[in-house]
Each structure stands twice: as structure tokens, then as C-alpha cells.
Amino acid sequence: MRHIISILMENESGALSRVAGLFSARAYNIESLTVAPTEDSSLSRMTLVTSGSAEIIEQITKQLNKLVDVVKLNDLNVSGVQHIEREMMLIKVKAPVSSRDEIMRLSDIFRGNIIDVTDDTYTVELTGTSDKLNAFIASFDCDSILETVRSGVMGIARGSSSLHL
């Protein structure tokens, strides 16, 4: 099963490589990983998407907790926790005059913003679940996509529970 794990860790050089190294050394899956400092500049917040059996996920959270730089972590996919997840994508597509209107309509349907325009390209910014981003990509044929860049998933728990010190 797919799990989103949120991690608060010391904002030290090498902290990211400890997490990445743990996953490769123990042959765990990483689907995506995103990291940036928090409002407290001594801490980084990482969101990691992984998958595996219940036993493997348990090991992953235990092994992550064991890393000395990890201050706290939450698995957002456990019973009793509801969460919101979002991913952001920038996608550059061919935009010949004949398909410009269609791309704008598509972008509107998906609540995207066209953030850059040239004579023959559009760049669209889109935020949502990974499924939504996939659906947007699928609405283009491969030839017309010039470039995509995705942030990886970020997640947060619903309600008043929060991951903080």
C-alpha cells in the first residue's frame, strides 16, 4: 500500500542523503521525496511517498525514526488520520495557433494557470493530487508535451493535529 510519510528533521547538510541512503541500503521503494526548510530555519520538512506491506512500512518508519537527524515523523496513511495531499506540476506544451483555445480550455477545466507564453508554446502550472496531474498529462498526445516538472507529493493531516515540536 502507498504511504505518505511526513518527517521533521534537523536542517543539516547530509540529512537528505541519510534518508535517501537508508532507502537504497535497505531496498525500500521511494516514489517521491520533497524537502524544504520550515518556518523554523533549523528544521526541514520532508514528505516521502513509499509503498510496501504493513510490515515493511512499519520497518521504514522505525528505521527513519532511528536516524539521529530525524526529530519527528508521521505516517499520514494510518487509521484515524485523514490527510490532504497536493503535488504541483509545470508543463510546457506545443501551442500552435490551431490548438491554443483547446489548451486554455483544458487548463481552465483542471484549474491550471498558463504562466508563460511564446509564439508556439504554453507553460501551464497545475496543482492537485497526483491523479489529477496524470489526467492532465493524458489529455495531451505525447508529441505535444515538451517538458514536465513535478514537485513530488506534499501532505498534511486534516484537523487540528499537526507535526511540530
Partner 1 sequence: MELSGAEIIAQFLEDEGVEYLFGYPGGAVLHIYDALLRADTVKHILVRHEQAATHAADGYARSTGKPGVALVTSGPGMTNAVTGIATAYLDSIPLVVLTGQVPTGVIGSDAFQEVDSVGISRPCVKHNFLVKDVKDLAETLKKAFYVASTGRPGPVVVDIPKDVTDPNIKIPYTYLPTIEMRSYNPVTKGHPFQIKKALELMLRAKRPVFYTGGGVVLSNASSSLRSLVKKLGFPITSTLMGLGAYPSSDEQFLGMLGMHGTYEANMAMHDTDVLIAVGARFDDRVTGHLEQFCPNAKIIHIDIDPSSISKTVQVDVPIVGDVDDVLTTMLEMLKESDGEKASFKVDQSSCDQDLKDWWKKIKQWRKKNCLRYNKKTKSIKPQYVIEKLHEVTKGDAFITSDVGQHQMFAAQYYGFDEPRRWINSGGLGTMGFGLPAAMGTQLAHLDKTVACVTGEGSIQMNIQELATCMQYQLPIKIINLNNRYLGMVRQWQEFFYEGRYAMSYMDSIPDFVKLAESYGHVGMQIDQTSDVEDALKEAFAMKDKLVFIDFLTNREENVYPMIAAGKGQHEMELAPDSELV
Q: Where on the chain is the footprint of partner 1 (CB under 8 A)?
A: 9-10, 13-14, 17-18, 21, 25, 55, 58-59, 62-63, 65-66, 68-71, 165
Q: Are 92 and 122 in contact (CB under 8 A)?
A: yes
| Shortest separation between residue 6's beta carbon and partner 1, angstroms | 15
Give 53 or 98: the residue with its C-beta nearer to partner 1: 53
CA distance 4 to 146: 29
Q: Which is nearer to partner 1, 53 or 118 (CB)?
A: 53
CA distance 44 to 71: 10
Query: What are 43's three cell numbers?
Result: 528544521
Q: What is the DSSP string of the chain?
A: -EEEEEEEEE--TTHHHHHHHHHHHTT---SEEEEEE-SSTTEEEEEEEEE--HHHHHHHHHHHHHSTTEEEEEESSSTT--EEEEEEEEEEEE--GGGHHHHHHHHHHTT-EEEEE-SSEEEEEEEE-HHHHHHHHHTS-GGGEEEEEE---EEEESTT-----
Instruction: Using the minimum distance from each CB to partner 1, give the nearer residue, 24 or 82.
Output: 24
Q: Which is nearer to partner 1, 78 or 135 (CB)?
A: 78
Is the Cβ of residue 75 or residue 125 nearer to partner 1 in the bound state?
75
